[in-house]
């Protein structure tokens, strides 16, 4: 008798794999471990994901979507205030980095596992970071900053710092300082446009 379709199998496998990949890194987890913890059977896993690379790429794309959701939620109330969005994004990352169990940015953490430039997982990671940097630069340009590229890079460095320190410091981390630095960076970049910045509810 043919096996009945399991419409939730892909998400179930991906959820188990995502947890294991975040805990141990993609190169620290074998397919058999995922099969055992998921209880899905080898044939079902390979039906949904043709290889481990396919599963890792799906995991990274899920991580990217979760990041996009975080940024959109932080920025949405300030859709007409790019300066406020820059600070709000830092605030959202600061809050996430202080949550119990935070392990840093999973995309950045996964990069050393894929040194080959042609590996599909590495392409997902690098594409994400290029798109993310471009997004910050677009926001910085929309503020009217005198040097938007430098402003965007300062915001990115603050976010990278939160991702690095969060797993070690947790609630004792530098989230408040990061938000304060973000405000200072935006104010300095705007110069005589500070009035626009000070009207932002995120920057009062």
Percent over 90 (pLDDT), the chain: 76
Q: What is the pLDDT of residue 6?
A: 61
- Looking at the structure, do residues 70 and 101 belong to the same domain, yes or no? yes
The model's pLDDT over 142-158, given as tens digits with 9 standing for 90+, comes to 999 999 999 999 999 99
Is the distance from CB of 108 to CB of 125 less than 8 angstroms?
Answer: yes
Q: What is the pLDDT of residue 202?
A: 46
The model's pLDDT over 169-198, given as tens digits with 9 standing for 90+, comes to 777 778 899 999 999 999 999 985 555 555
- Looking at the structure, do residues 14 and 66 belong to the same domain, yes or no? no
Under the banding of pLDDT at 50, 70 and 90, the label for residue 160 is very high
- Looking at the structure, do residues 82 and 23 belong to the same domain, yes or no? no
Under the banding of pLDDT at 50, 70 and 90, the label for residue 168 is confident
- Looking at the structure, do residues 40 and 61 belong to the same domain, yes or no? no
- Looking at the structure, do residues 17 and 108 belong to the same domain, yes or no? no
The domain of 71 spans 53-198
Lowest mean pLDDT among 80-89, 121-130, 163-172: 163-172
The answer to whether the Cα torsion of 24, 25, 27, 33 is positive or negative is positive
Under the banding of pLDDT at 50, 70 and 90, the label for residue 199 is very low
- Looking at the structure, do residues 42 and 22 belong to the same domain, yes or no? yes
Cα–Cα distance for residue pair 90/87, rounded to 1 Å: 5
Q: What is the pLDDT of residue 1?
A: 36
- What value does the mean pLDDT take over residues 129-142? 96
* Residue 77 resides in a domain: yes
- Looking at the structure, do residues 173 and 74 belong to the same domain, yes or no? yes
* Residue 179 resides in a domain: yes
- Looking at the structure, do residues 28 and 115 belong to the same domain, yes or no? no
The CA-CA-CA angle for residues 128, 136, 188, to 5°, reads 150
Task: Give the number of other CB atoms < 10 A from CB of residue 4.
Answer: 6
Would you give the distance in Å from CA 127 to the centre of its chain?
A: 12
Structural domain count, the chain: 2
Return the CATH number at 46.
1.10.10
- Looking at the structure, do residues 87 and 106 belong to the same domain, yes or no? yes
- Looking at the structure, do residues 62 and 143 belong to the same domain, yes or no? yes
Return the CATH number at 72.
1.10.357.10
* Residue 20 resides in a domain: yes
* Residue 203 resides in a domain: no
The CA-CA-CA angle for residues 126, 128, 129, to 5°, reads 65
Cα–Cα distance for residue pair 159/93, rounded to 1 Å: 7
* Residue 94 resides in a domain: yes
Report the C-alpha dihedral over residues 85, 89, 91, 96, rounded to 10 degrees.
160
- What value does the mean pLDDT take over residues 7-35? 91
Task: Give the number of other CB atoms < 10 A from CB of residue 43.
Answer: 10
DSSP characters over 118-178: T-HHHHHHHHHHHHHHHHHHHHHHHHT-SSHHHHHHHHHHHHHHHHHHHHHHGGGSSHHHH
The model's pLDDT over 101-110, given as tens digits with 9 standing for 90+, comes to 889 999 999 9
The CA-CA-CA angle for residues 70, 45, 105, to 5°, reads 25
State the chain's mean pLDDT as an integer. Answer: 89
- Looking at the structure, do residues 81 and 157 belong to the same domain, yes or no? yes
- Looking at the structure, do residues 46 and 57 belong to the same domain, yes or no? no
The model carries a pTM of 0.86
Is the distance from CB of 186 to CB of 176 less than 8 angstroms?
Answer: no
Q: What is the pLDDT of residue 101?
A: 87
């Amino acid at each position: 008798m043919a096996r009945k379709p399991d419409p939730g199998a892909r998400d179930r496998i991906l959820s188990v794999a995502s947890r294991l990949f975040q805990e141990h890194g993609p190169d620290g987890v074998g397919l058999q471990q995922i099969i055992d913890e998921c209880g899905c059977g080898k044939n079902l896993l390979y039906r949904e994901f043709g290889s481990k690379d396919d599963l890792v790429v799906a995991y990274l794309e899920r991580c990217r979507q979760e990041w996009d959701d975080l940024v959109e939620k932080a920025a949405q109330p300030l859709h007409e205030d790019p300066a406020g969005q820059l600070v709000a994004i830092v605030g959202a990352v600061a809050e996430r980095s202080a949550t119990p169990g935070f392990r840093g940015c999973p995309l950045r953490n996964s990069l050393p596992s894929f040194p080959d430039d042609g590996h599909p997982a590495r392409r997902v990671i690098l594409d994400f970071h290029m798109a993310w940097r471009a997004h910050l630069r677009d926001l910085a340009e929309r503020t009217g900053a005198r040097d938007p590229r430098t402003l965007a890079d300062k915001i990115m460095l603050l976010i990278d710092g939160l991702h690095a320190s969060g797993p070690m410091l947790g609630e004792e981390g530098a989230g408040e300082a990061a938000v304060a630095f973000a405000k200072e960076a935006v104010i300095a970049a705007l110069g005589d446009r500070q009035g626009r910045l000070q009207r932002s509810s995120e920057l009062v």
